[in-house]
Amino acid sequence: MTGGIVNNLVNSAQSENIDDLYEEASHWHVNTGDETIHAKRLAGRFRTYKWLGHALYLLFFLGPYLRWEDSQAILYDIPGRKFHFFDLTILPQDVWILSLILMFFAILMVVVTAIVGRLWCGYFCFQTAWTDVFTWIEGKIEGDPAKRRKLDDAAWSSEKIRKRGIKHTLWLLISVLTGISFTAWFTDAYQLWSDLFTLDAAFMSWVTIGTFTAGTYVLAGFMREQVCLWLCPYARIQGVFYDRDTELPTYDFNRGEPRGKLRKGENTEGKGDCVACNQCVAVCPTGIDIRAGQQEGCITCGLCIDACDMVMDKVGKSRGLVRYASLDEIQGIDVPPVYKRPRIIASSALIMIAVFGIIYGLTHLGSLELKVLHERQPLFVQQSDGTIQNKYYFKMLNKTDKEMQVKITVDESINGLTMIGADKTIAVGSGDLRSHTIFVKVPNGFISAPRLPVIFHLSDASDPDTMVTYESMFFGPKH
Amino acid sequence: MSDQNPFPGENNTGHYWDGNLRELLNPIPKWWMIGFWISIAIFIGYTIWYPSWPLINTHFKGVAGWTAMNEYKEDMAKIEAIRAPYEESINKMSAAQILADDQLANYTVRSAKVLFGDKCAACHGTGGAGNPGYPVLADDDWLYGGTIEKIQETITIGRQGMMPAHGSRLSDQQISDLTKHVVALGQGSEDAAGKAVFMSAGCFACHGMDAKGNQMMGSANLTDGIYRFAPGGADSVKYTIAHGVNDASDAKSRNAVMPVFGKMLDENDIKKLAVYVYKLGGGQ
C-alpha cells in the first residue's frame, strides 16, 4: 500500500519534465524587498474608500488635544495607573473590561475577515495608511513610478539630492509628529509640547518619541509591504479566517482566460476578457499579481479592482473582471447569506457577550471597592470575657477623584455580635487602597456552627448610596 | 561543474551538474542581513559595556562597572530612603506614641511582621496563635499585662514563670478537689471542697482572692477559661498543681521562660514588636 503511493509519487515526478519544473520555478517571485515597489496611483472607488479609512487616523493626531474639565479627555496615565476617558476614570482593578474590549476587537476581526477579507489590512491598518501617505509624498516629489525607478538608478546629482532631501525631510516630519502624537496619549499633550521645546520632557517621553519616529520612518519609508509579507502576524493568520464564502478581490478567471493582448483588427473570438495590460499588477502596493489567485501578499485593498474597471471601461467591456467575490461565487456555487454561516453566528454571539460585559462593566464601575480578608492564623481567639474574636483585614479602594470618609458597618447576623475598630470614619485618598483592621466578637454561647456568615458594608459617610457589601466568615470553636 | 553557464540570466550560482541540475541563488533579504549585523554589533557593545569574558583568575569587568550586587544595593538604598522618615519617627517616639499615629502604626505592623516571624513565631506561632506550652498573643489574657508599656517590658527583660510544685505538700484528695475547683472557676462556678484547699494551701497569695491572677507577679487568671498550659482541662490542671512551674525541686515541673530580648534586639525593633503584638488583637 505504502509502496504504491511512493511509486505513484516517483512516477508523477518522473513524468513531468524536470525543465518544466525549472520553468515553473522561474515564475516564483519571492518578494524579499530587494526591489522597491513603485506602485502606480489611479483614482477610483476603492482609492476613495482607502483615503476615508486612513482619515480615521486624524483622531490619533488630534485626540490628545481634547480637554475635559481642565484635564486631558483621554489619557492613559501609566505612572498613576489610571485611565481617564472623559468622565470615567478606570483603575487597574477594572482592567478586566479592557480584556473584554480586546476580545471584542479580536473576534470582530475574525468575523470581518470571514465576511470581507482583510478589511483592516487594506483600509485601516496604520502600516497601510502611513505607507500610503509616504508613497503619495514620494510620488508628488519624484514623479510617477517610471521616473522614480529612474531616479533610484540614477547617479547622485544635485537634482537627486534635492528631491531625496525634501522627501526624507517630509517623511521624518511625519514620523516625529507620529511619535509626539503617540506619546501625547500617555502624558498631558500641551505640557508635552512645551516640555519638548524647553527640552524638559521626561526621559520616557524622549525614548517613546524616538522609538516611534524611527519605527515610522523605517517601517513606512523603507520596509513598506515587507512588513505585511514577513513581519506582521495577522497577515499570516488570516488564512484560517477565510473560507470559500469570504468576499475578496478576485480575478474572474472563467471570464478572463485565456488572456491576451488586444490588437487592433484582431479577432477576439475564443479569447478571454483579460487584455493582459498588467495594470492590476502596476497599482498593487504589495507588488502581487491578483490573477495568480488569492495569496498571502494580498492586503485586499481593492486598488486592482479600480485599475481593471478603468481598463474595462476603455476597451468597452463590462466592469468586474477583478471584483470582490468569493471562491464559490466565481465557481458558480451558491453562497449562503452571511447570517446563515455558522462561523459568523458563533463569532457574533461571542462579540455580543463581550459587548454586554463591557456595558455592564462601564455602568457598574462604582466609586468604592471592598475586599475583606479573614485572618487565618489564628482563625479565632478566645477572649477572657468568654467571647470569641475574629480578625479581618479590610482593603478599601476609593475610585473617585476626591478623598472620601468611609464608614464600616456590619449586619447583626449573629446574636451578640460586636465590632471593634469601626467607631470612627476612615479617610481614603483618591485612588488609594487603604487597609484597616477590624475585630468582631461574639459570645461563645451564641456560636451555633464553626463557620457563620458575617456581612460587612462600606459606604461613603456623606453619601450612604455608595454602599458596597462583602460577605465573609466568622470562625468559632466546634461545640 | 563548468565555468560556462548554460542557463544565463536565470539567477543561479553558475554551479551545475549532470547537464541541468544547478544551484539557484536566493540570497537572504538585505533587511534581514542588516538586522543580523546590528545584532552582532549590539552583542559586541554589550560585552564591552557589561561584565562578560572569563579571564584566567577573574573575568572582564565591563567598562560600565555594573554588577548585580551594586544594583541590589542601589535598590535597597531606594527602599531605605522610603522607609527613612518612618524609621526616624519610630526612633524618636515611644511605643505608645507610635500606636496613636494610625499611619505609623500601620507601617510598624507591616515591618515588624518579618521580625516577629524571625524572633517570636517559633514559640508563639505565626500571628501569635500560640503553641502548646507557649501563650497565645492574639487574645486579651495577659499574664504580665497587656498595655503597650508592659508588652515592651516583657520583650526587653524577659519573663520566668514561677509556681511551686504541690505534689509533696498536698494529699491526693486535696489535689483532686483543687483541680475540680480550678476547672469549675473557668466555667464560671466553684467547688466548695476545692475552694477550701485554695484558701488553706495559700493559692490565693499569688492567684488572688478572686482567683483572677496578679499581673505584677505573672500569676494566671484562673476564672477566664483560657489555659496557660495546653491542652487545658482537668488532667492538665492537676499536673500543673502537682509539679508546679519552673520548680527546680520537681524534675517534672512545667517550663515557662520568655527569653530576654533586650540584648538581642535594638530598642526600635523592640518597640516595633511591642506595637505588633499589641495590635494582634488583645492590646489593652
Question: Would you state the pLDDT for residue A270?
Answer: 77
Question: What percent of chain B has pLDDT above 70?
Answer: 99
Domain match, A170 and A36 both: yes
Interface test with A, best of B120, B139, B215, B223 (most A CBs within 10 A): B139
How would DSSP label each residue in B151-184?
HHHHHHH-EE--B---TTTS-HHHHHHHHHHHHH
CB contact under 8 A, A377 and B281: no
Question: Would you state the pLDDT for residue A23?
Answer: 61
- Which residues of chain B does A437 touch, with a Cβ-Cβ cutoff of 8 Å? 279
Distance, in Å, from the CA atom of B239 to the CA atom of B167, rounded to the nearest integer, reads 9
Interchain CB contact of A439 with B (< 8 Å): yes
Domain match, A222 and A268 both: no
**Of A195, A220, A240, which residue is a domain's last?**
A240
Question: Would you state the pLDDT for residue A20?
Answer: 67
- CA–CA distance from B221 to each of A121, A193, A385, B141, B142 (Å)? 80, 73, 12, 8, 9
Cis amide bond preceding B51, omega within 30: no
Residues 157-176 on A with a CB inside 8 Å of B are none
CA distance B142 to chain A (A): 9
Give me A437's grid cell: 483592621
DSSP character at residue A221: I
Q: Residue B279 in contact with residue B116, Cβ under 8 Å?
A: no
Give me A16's grid cell: 513531468
pLDDT tens-digit series, residues A388-426: 999 999 999 988 878 899 999 999 888 889 999 888 899
User: Under the phi-then-psi rule, with left for phi > 0, alpha for psi from -120 to 50, and beta for the rest, what region is A385?
Assistant: alpha
Q: Mean pLDDT over residues B39-59, rounded?
A: 94
Comparing C-alpha atoms, which of A105, A121, A171, A110 is closest to residue A142? A171
ipTM: 0.79
In the predicted model, residues of chain A with pLDDT beneath 70 are 1-30
Q: What are phi and psi of A438, to 5 degrees?
A: -130, 140
CB contact under 8 A, B139 and A377: no
Interface test with A, best of B21, B36, B140, B284 (most A CBs within 10 A): B140
Give the nearest partner residue to B29 out of A18, A33, A222, using CB atoms: A33
pLDDT tens-digit series, residues B116-163: 999 999 999 999 999 988 999 999 999 999 999 999 999 999 999 999
Neighbours of B172 (CB within 10 A): 10
Domain match, A304 and A442 both: no
CB contact under 8 A, B129 and A19: no
B111 has a pLDDT exceeding 70: yes
Domain match, A95 and A146 both: yes
Q: Residue A459 in contact with residue A425, Cβ under 8 Å?
A: no
Comparing C-alpha atoms, which of A372, A352, A385 is closest to residue A438? A372
Helix, strand, coil percentages for chain B (3-state, nearest 5): 50, 10, 40
Domain match, A261 and A295 both: yes
CB contact under 8 A, A384 and B24: no
B63 SS3 class: coil
CATH code at B162-255: 1.10.760.10
- Which residues of chain B does A19 touch, with a Cβ-Cβ cutoff of 8 Å? 20
A479 SS3 class: coil
Q: Which residue has the cell 519573663?
A: B159
Give the nearest partner residue to A26 out of B10, B279, B280, using CB atoms: B10
Structural domain boundaries, residue A165: 31-240
Question: For residue A418, what is the enclosing H or E element?
Answer: strand A418-420
Q: Residue A186 in contact with residue A75, Cβ under 8 Å?
A: yes
Cis amide bond preceding A378, omega within 30: yes
Residue type for position A327: L
Distance, in Å, from the CA atom of A54 to the CA atom of A132, rounded to the nearest integer, reads 9
Give the torsion through C-alpha atoms of A375, A380, A381, A383, to 10 deg: 110
Give the nearest partner residue to B126 out of A223, A377, A381, using CB atoms: A377
**Number of helical (H) and strand (E) elements in chain B, helices listed first:** 11, 4
CB contact under 8 A, A384 and B20: no
Each domain of chain B, given as residue ranges in start order, spans 1-66, 69-159+261-282, 162-255
Tell me the Cα Rg of chain B: 38
- CA–CA distance from B246 to each of A245, A334, A434, A466, B217 (Å)? 90, 97, 46, 58, 14
Domain match, A129 and A41 both: yes
Domain match, A463 and A443 both: yes
Longest dimension (CA), chain A: 115
CA distance A260 to chain B (A): 25
CA distance B283 to chain A (A): 11
Domain match, A227 and A249 both: no
CATH code at B69-159+261-282: 1.10.760.10
Q: Which residue of A has its CA nearest to B109?
A: A437
DSSP character at residue B213: -
Domain match, A211 and A249 both: no
DSSP character at residue A85: E
Interface test with B, best of A23, A383, A405 (most B CBs within 10 A): A383
- Chain B residues with a Cβ under 8 Å from any Cβ in chain A: 10, 20, 24, 26, 28-32, 106, 125-130, 136, 138-141, 221, 224-226, 279-282
CB contact under 8 A, A384 and B221: yes
pLDDT band at B3 (very low <50, low <70, confident <90, very high): low
DSSP character at residue B189: -
Domain count, chain A: 3
Interface test with B, best of A384, A388, A440 (most B CBs within 10 A): A384
Question: Would you state the pLDDT for residue A29?
Answer: 65
CA distance B143 to chain A (A): 12
| Burial degree of A187 (CB within 10 A; 0-12, 13-18, 19+) | buried
Question: Would you state the pLDDT for residue A85?
Answer: 86
Higher per-residue confidence, B195 vs A260 = B195
Cis amide bond preceding A258, omega within 30: yes
Query: What CATH number is attached to the domain comprising A418?
Result: 2.60.40.10
CB contact under 8 A, B224 and A386: yes
Is residue A140 a part of any domain in this protein?
yes
pLDDT band at B20 (very low <50, low <70, confident <90, very high): confident
Instruction: Please state whether beta strands A418-420 and A463-475 pair in parallel, antiparallel, or not at all (unpaired).
Output: unpaired
Higher per-residue confidence, B22 vs B126 = B126
CB contact under 8 A, A226 and B31: yes
A319 SS3 class: coil
Query: Comparing B69-159+261-282 with B162-255, is the CATH topology the same?
Result: yes
DSSP H stretches of helix in A242-395: 253-256, 279-282, 303-315, 327-330, 342-363
Give me B98's grid cell: 507610635
